[in-house]
Each structure stands twice: as C-alpha cells, then as structure tokens.
Amino acid sequence: MKAKHRFVVAVVVLGLLMTGPFVVTSLLVWLDMKDAERQLLTELLLSRLPVGTMMTVFGFVLGVLVLHYLFKQYVEGLLRMAETLRLMLGANRNFRVKIDGPPEVQQLARAANDLAQQRDELMDDVDAQVAKAKASVEEEKNRLAALMSELAQAVVVCNLDGRILLYNNRARLQFKALAQGPTSVAGGALIGLGRSIFSILEKNQVQHAQEVILQRLAAGKSAMSNFITTTRSGQLLRAQMVPVLAATGSDGETAMSGYVLTVENITRSLEQEARRDQALHSLTEGSRSALGSIRAAVTNLIDYPDMEQELRERFVKVVDDEAAKMSQRLDVTMAEFSDSMKTRWPLEDILGIDIILAAQRRIDDRLKLPSKTEEIEDALWIKADSYSLVFALVFLASKLQDHYEPRELRFRLTSEGKLAYLDLIWAGPAMSSETFYTWEMESMQVGSDTSPLSLRDMIDRHGGEIWYQREKAAHRAFFRFVLPVAMPEVLHEEDERKRGSGRPEYYDFDLFKYSDDSIDLDRKLSDLTYTVFDTETTGLEPSNGDEIIQVGAARIVNNRLLRQEVFNQIVDPERPLRPEGIPIHGITEDMVRGQPTIDTVLPAFHQFCEDTVLIAHNAAFDMRFLQLKEARTGIRFSQPVLDTLLLSAVVHPNQESHKLDVILERLGIEIGKRHNALEDALATGEVFLKLVPLLANQGIVTVRQALEASEKTFYARVKY
C-alpha cells in the first residue's frame, strides 16, 4: 500500500474513532427509551446540535492536522532518507543524509551517516591495499623480466597452447642464429610474444615433455623434463621444461598453466666434444703404432748388439722415422684442436677497452696510481674471464708500485690475427726475469683481496701467455698479456637498444589467458595482434615499374608496440633507383646491391605477419605494391588492413591534413628519425595506439567497426 493511501485510511479511521462511540452510544440509549423520553431528548439535542457538530468537526480537523504532521515527519522523512541511502550505496559514495526532522529520525540519520563513514574508510583502505598489491606485482614482474633478460641461458615461457609469454634476449639471439630459409632475412621472425613455440621446437616433443610433467605432478614428484631436439636447420637443442603452476580451488591443488623452457644449443659443444675426442684419439691410438715400432726396434738393438751393420742401421732408421712421425702428428693435432682443448674454462666475449677501463678505475681507486691509454683498438673483442683478468692487472700494478714506484701506468691494446695484445706499460729501471717469475707464480693479492690463482693459472685458463719486455729506446718496459680474440656474437645489439626506449618488452603475462589466434573482426581493437608496416619504394607508380626497396615492420601485441620484434629488410629492386628518391628514403645503389630480392623477402614478411591485422599509413599505397607481386610470388596478404590515415580522419574529420608528420604532432608523439621504413612503421604503430581510445570515444571498439568507419570516411573523402 502506498503511503498516500495509508494516510487516507488513517484519516478515515480517525473520523470513525471521533464519531463512532457517540453515535453507537446514542443509538443504544435511543432504543432503550420510552416515546416521551425520546421526544424530550430530541428537543434537547436538536437545539444544541450545531454546537456538538462544530466541536466534533473542530476536533476532527485538529486530529487530521496532527496526523498529517506525523506523516510528513516520520513516513515521508524516512522515505527520503531511504532514497538518500540508496544513492550513497550506489551512485555517489560521498553523499550524506541531511539531518532534520524529529529527534528520533535525526538519530537514525546520524547513525546511518556514521555507518557510511565507516564503510568509506574500509573501502578506501581496500582500494589502497589493492593498489599497493598491484604495484608490487607489477614491480615483481618487471624485476623478473629484467632478471630474465640478463640471464646467460635462453629462457622461454609458454602457456599450455605453446604461445610465448616471455623470452629473454639470449633466447632471441639463439633462435635468430637458428633461423634459416626465408625467416633468416631481417633477422629471423621466429620468436615473438604470442607466437607459437612450435615453429621452433618439435611440437610432439614439447607435448611429450608436458605429459611427462603432468604425470610426475600427479604422482607428487618434482616435475621437470628434458629433451633434445633437432631444429629444421639441423641444430641440436637441449631443452629443459619446468611447469608454471597456478593454484586452483580451495583444496590448494596445483594445476599447470604453462611452462618454462630453458634452451641450450648444444650443437657447438657437441662438436667441440667430438673434436676433443678426436684429438685425444689421434694422440693416443695414433701414437700406439709408432711407439710399438720404436719399442720393438729398440729392444732388438739392445738385445742383439752384434747384429750386422746394415740391419742395425735399418732399426735406427725405424726409430728415427717413427719419432719424427709422432712429433709431426703431435704438432698437427695441437694446431688443429688447440682451440677446443682450451675452452673448458668459461670465458666471455668482452670488449678489450672495457677491461682496460675497469682496470684503470680499480688501479686509481685502490692504488691511487694514475694511468693513461696509448694505442687502443677500441673495437677489439677478447675472450676472457673479465674478473680475474682485471684482478691480474691490478695485482701487477700494485707489485710495480711496491717495487719500482712508477709515476703512472699506461695501457695499450693491439691485435695480430687471432691474438690480442694487452700491454701494461711503465717507465723505470729494468727488472730481472727471476723477479717476474716469482710474481707469476705467487697467489695474486691486492691489499686485502686475495685470489687463489696465480698469474700463471689465470693466463693458462685463458689459453694465453704473458711476458715481460723492455722498450729500451723509450726507457720503459711492459707486461704483455696475449689473449684470444673473440668474434662478438651480435654487432647490431646497440642500435636495437637505441630503438627500444627503456626496458625491453620481452614478456606479456596477460597472454596466459590468451589462446585464440584467428582474426575475429568482432574482437576489441585493443585485444588483437597487429603488424604495423611501411615500405620504401623507388617511386610512386607501382604499375609503371616502381619497386619496393625496403620493408619495415613491428608487432603490436596486447596493446603494446614491441620494438624488439621487428622486420627490417632492404630489398634489391632489380632496377636502377631514381636519383630524386634517394634523398627521401636515404637508400643508395650500394645499399640495395647484394640484398635479397622481393621473391625472398615477401615470403619472410608474410610469415612475420601471420595471424595479425595489418596496419599502415596510407595503406592503399603499400598494399598496391604487395598485391602487384601476388602473381609472381604466389604470396597473398589476405588479412584485414587498417589505415591510420583513414582512422585519423574518422577521429578528427575536421582537420585538414592527415599526413603522418602532422598526426604525430597532433597526437603529441615525439619521434626522432623518420623516412626509413622501420622508423615510419614504428611511428605508425604509436599513432594507432593513440587512436584506439579516441575511436572508442566514438563507439568504435571492434575491428569491424573500425573498418566500416574507415570505409565511410574513405568515400566521404573521395567525394570531395
């Protein structure tokens, strides 16, 4: 019943209460009376009826007024309060009940407000806790990623579908080195977030390892699985799998949600082992025959001293012959296998100049002894255990300081073939080779730091040599460390570092929940995987023989532009460049010569784009070039294509220009270099990521909607 109705009922009840008892009493008295009495009463009453009626009506009105007042205060007041409370519960947390009305209602309001206050505090606290927890999770993630990226082992984390969630730099380099065939152009596109590990490792083996782990988990054993697999390029990989466990349910039971693979390329170490074996074999078994002949001949010579001269000479010749053969074999074997015999100690590739800088700092720090550098080959990489090498340099410096007090030291780094010469030079009197010999053999010590190694041990571990030499003319001397020169594994590492701002984006844990890789046009723009790309061409008319000369591309996964997973390839157009184009794209004849042709590059690029939506600025232009090659290469780019030029026009229909530079400025994106396919592709990717929320403001959320909106603006633009 509504409040209004209840009010009406209350008024009626009031009316009945005020008149009812009187009327009923009168009726009962009337029935009991005789006729004369009734007549008398009628006369008495009728004369006084107006007064009675007036009093009744007055009382009734008074009653209604009181009732109305009470209704306003208690019923409607409480209803209002209820509404306010609802508001506080839902829309506006900070709203409070107004304190008015009768004291009881006011008390209730105060109590409600206090309750609300308490709730707000609790909620704030929870929010703060959540934010804190989130931040710490984020921090942990970053720490993990940083740790992973520095690991010397190749690590890949996958979800159960084999999608890569995380990989480290080592893994990238290792798989890059493996890439052969079309993917080897542009640095190999095999590894990437969200990509399948099965393009690198044999699917059956990975799944078998997964099963082994599940079985071991079910049996309550520690779960780990190893396997050795061969890649398509014939390399041997040893992989170790451990599960990523996720707690499920209340019983604390764990389920596998993914796995960590540590992968080691053992091709080289196996080869090395085989070579070492071979060396050993050649030295042992190869020597047996020779030694056998010598021994037999010598025994005969000894046992039969009176044999004929001719025979004796023949036996002596045998000994001479075989001894010569053995020496020769020893030389050959050592020359051939010395590299592999030396590599037992873990040496790293390091820039020689870095060793010298570290040593200079330490010498200045510990010994207060200034040092300078002379001739330095600053691009010379050496194979060294940098810690013990720097320690050895500081050790020698401190020895020199103790015995000869040189004013300063100098460093020199040169090379000759496979050998690097690191010289520690000082001016002063000649030292005896005996002194140096004792220095060489004693355990190294600098102040309170000691090393269990002697200088000789250290140098032996490097497969190197050290000696003392005088430069008489200059009145100075030096210690020369001879160390093996290293071929650095990756040279283009640095420009990649320049390209990526901040920490590398090698991980994406959100992919744990990600499995579907087919392109669903009704998925949100922010959920899809994209390839942003750009091409440089000889000119603007593909139908007139202009050709692609560079393809640059990067991937967007889970709303992040991955600057490490790029495709960047210069293409030989098989025709001369137009001179007027060279200042624009900066690519010269020399640069395209010897590069792969489009027949090689396009399949590789196609593979790089697999299962992604393409994005380009003024996509129609680039797509035209790609499509013209369809017939020749048989490669079709059939995936959906988004155009940032059109999308920009959708978002800002009233802006005049939608050139990439103008958009970059409008959206506040700062880009250093441009007009190189890769840089432009990256810029386009940044633009796209900025456009996604702007499109969402216009209700454009899915790929389908974005394509439709683009189409409309396209026609709108064509009309003008």
Partner 1 sequence: MNKKILIVDDEPNIVISLEFLMKKEGFEVAVAADGDEAMAKVASFDPDLILLDVMMPKKSGFEVCEALRANPPRPDLLIVMLTAKGRDTEVAKGLAIGADAYVTKPFSTKDLVVRVKGMLGVA
The residues annotated as belonging to the active site are 675
Specify the residue for token string 């073939």.
Answer: 417
CB of 337 to partner 1, least distance (A): 19
CB of 513 to partner 1, least distance (A): 55
Pick from 318, 477, 604, 681: which binds partner 1 (CB under 8 A)? 318
- Residues between 226 and 255 that touch partner 1 (CB under 8 A): none
CB of 311 to partner 1, least distance (A): 7
Candidates 217-225, 285-293, 385-393, 688-696; binding stretch for partner 1 (CB under 8 A): 285-293
CB of 279 to partner 1, least distance (A): 16
CB of 286 to partner 1, least distance (A): 8
Annotate each residue in 570-609 with x if it binds partner 1 (CB under 8 A) or - if it does not, as one string: ----------------------------------------
- Residues between 491 and 530 that touch partner 1 (CB under 8 A): none
Complex with partner 1: residue 45 or 291, whichever CB lies closer: 291
Contact criterion met (CB below 8 Å) for 244 and 309 = no
Pick from 284, 432, 543, 654: which binds partner 1 (CB under 8 A)? 284
Site membership for partner 1, residue 295 (CB under 8 A)? yes
187 vs 177: CA distance, rounded Å: 8
Pick from 289, 445, 469, 588: which binds partner 1 (CB under 8 A)? 289
Site membership for partner 1, residue 627 (CB under 8 A)? no
Q: Is 619 exposed, middle or buried (0-12, 13-18, 19+ CB in 10 A)?
A: buried
Complex with partner 1: residue 309 or 543, whichever CB lies closer: 309
Reference 279, options 344, 348, 235, 347; nearest CA is 344
686 vs 663: CA distance, rounded Å: 10
Pick from 81, 294, 616, 641: which binds partner 1 (CB under 8 A)? 294
Pick from 297, 397, 609, 682: which binds partner 1 (CB under 8 A)? 297
Complex with partner 1: residue 318 or 528, whichever CB lies closer: 318
Reference 531, options 556, 514, 550; nearest CA is 556
Q: How many C-beta atoms surround the C-beta of residue 318 within 10 A?
A: 18
Site membership for partner 1, residue 315 (CB under 8 A)? yes
Give the CA distances from residue 472 to residues 413, 427, 430, in Å, rounded to whole numbers and listed in that order: 20, 10, 9
Site membership for partner 1, residue 286 (CB under 8 A)? yes
Candidates 43-51, 301-309, 500-508, 651-659; binding stretch for partner 1 (CB under 8 A): 301-309
624 Cα distance to chain centroid: 34
Residue 562, φ and ψ in degrees, nearest 5 = -95, 100
Give helix then strand counts, H and E, for the chain: 22, 19
Candidates 284-292, 393-401, 517-525, 535-543; binding stretch for partner 1 (CB under 8 A): 284-292
Site membership for partner 1, residue 354 (CB under 8 A)? no
164 vs 514: CA distance, rounded Å: 10
Reference 106, options 132, 129, 80; nearest CA is 80
Alpha helices in 304-385 (DSSP H): 309-342, 352-367
Contacts by 51-54 with C-beta closer than 8 Å and gap 24+? none
Give the CA distances from residue 555 to residues 179, 568, 684, in Å, rounded to whole numbers and listed in that order: 19, 12, 11
Candidates 308-316, 588-596, 637-645, 659-667; binding stretch for partner 1 (CB under 8 A): 308-316
Q: How many C-beta atoms surround the C-beta of residue 54 within 10 A?
A: 10
Contacts of 36 (CB under 8 A, 6+ apart): none
Candidates 306-314, 537-545, 652-660, 676-684; binding stretch for partner 1 (CB under 8 A): 306-314
Pick from 2, 288, 593, 719: which binds partner 1 (CB under 8 A)? 288
Pick from 299, 338, 438, 515: which binds partner 1 (CB under 8 A)? 299
3-state class (DSSP) for residue 358: helix
Residue 537, φ and ψ in degrees, nearest 5 = -130, 165
Pick from 49, 291, 332, 662: which binds partner 1 (CB under 8 A)? 291
Give the CA distances from residue 479 to residues 104, 436, 453, in Å, rounded to whole numbers and listed in that order: 98, 10, 18
Helix/strand/coil (H/E/C) assignment for every residue in 148-194:
HHHCCCEEEEEECCCEEEEECHHHHHHHHHHCCHHHHHHHCCCCCCC
Complex with partner 1: residue 307 or 671, whichever CB lies closer: 307
CB of 295 to partner 1, least distance (A): 4
Site membership for partner 1, residue 181 (CB under 8 A)? no
Candidates 158-166, 205-213, 303-311, 538-546; binding stretch for partner 1 (CB under 8 A): 303-311
- Residues between 319 and 338 that touch partner 1 (CB under 8 A): 321-322
CB of 321 to partner 1, least distance (A): 6
Site membership for partner 1, residue 5 (CB under 8 A)? no
Complex with partner 1: residue 285 or 522, whichever CB lies closer: 285
Complex with partner 1: residue 66 or 311, whichever CB lies closer: 311
Candidates 227-235, 304-312, 420-428, 665-673; binding stretch for partner 1 (CB under 8 A): 304-312
CB of 308 to partner 1, least distance (A): 11
Reference 439, options 490, 402, 399, 479; nearest CA is 399
Complex with partner 1: residue 318 or 446, whichever CB lies closer: 318
Single-letter amino acid, residue 196: S
Complex with partner 1: residue 318 or 425, whichever CB lies closer: 318
* Count of chain residues binding partner 1 (CB under 8 A): 23
Give the CA distances from residue 485 to residues 26, 374, 393, 681, in Å, rounded to whole numbers and listed in that order: 129, 19, 18, 38
Single-letter amino acid, residue 648: S
DSSP codes, 563-604: EEEEEEEE-B-SSPPPTTTHHHH---HHHHTTS-BHHHHHHH
Candidates 9-17, 313-321, 449-457, 506-514; binding stretch for partner 1 (CB under 8 A): 313-321
Specify the residue for token string 């934010």.
Answer: 131
Complex with partner 1: residue 85 or 297, whichever CB lies closer: 297
Contacts by 293-298 with C-beta closer than 8 Å and gap 24+? 293/318, 293/322, 294/318, 294/319, 294/322, 294/323, 297/322
Count the residues in the chain.
Answer: 720
CB of 274 to partner 1, least distance (A): 17
Complex with partner 1: residue 333 or 713, whichever CB lies closer: 333
CB of 275 to partner 1, least distance (A): 19
Supply 675's token pair: 């007009």
Specify the residue for token string 């015999």.
Answer: 341
Site membership for partner 1, residue 268 (CB under 8 A)? no
Complex with partner 1: residue 32 or 306, whichever CB lies closer: 306
| C-alpha distance across the termini of the chain, in Å | 65
Pick from 292, 370, 488, 693: which binds partner 1 (CB under 8 A)? 292
Specify the residue for token string 């250290």.
Answer: 458
Supply 29's token pair: 């008295």
Single-letter amino acid, residue 212: V
Pairing mode, strands 409-416 and 371-376: parallel
Complex with partner 1: residue 285 or 434, whichever CB lies closer: 285
Annotate each residue in 526-565 with x if it binds partner 1 (CB under 8 A) or - if it does not, as one string: ----------------------------------------
Complex with partner 1: residue 44 or 296, whichever CB lies closer: 296
613 vs 525: CA distance, rounded Å: 10
Pick from 257, 293, 597, 639: which binds partner 1 (CB under 8 A)? 293
Contact criterion met (CB below 8 Å) for 697 and 650 = no
Pick from 304, 345, 437, 467: which binds partner 1 (CB under 8 A)? 304
**List of residues contacting partner 1 (CB under 8 A):** 284-286, 288-289, 291-297, 299-300, 303-304, 307, 311, 314-315, 318, 321-322
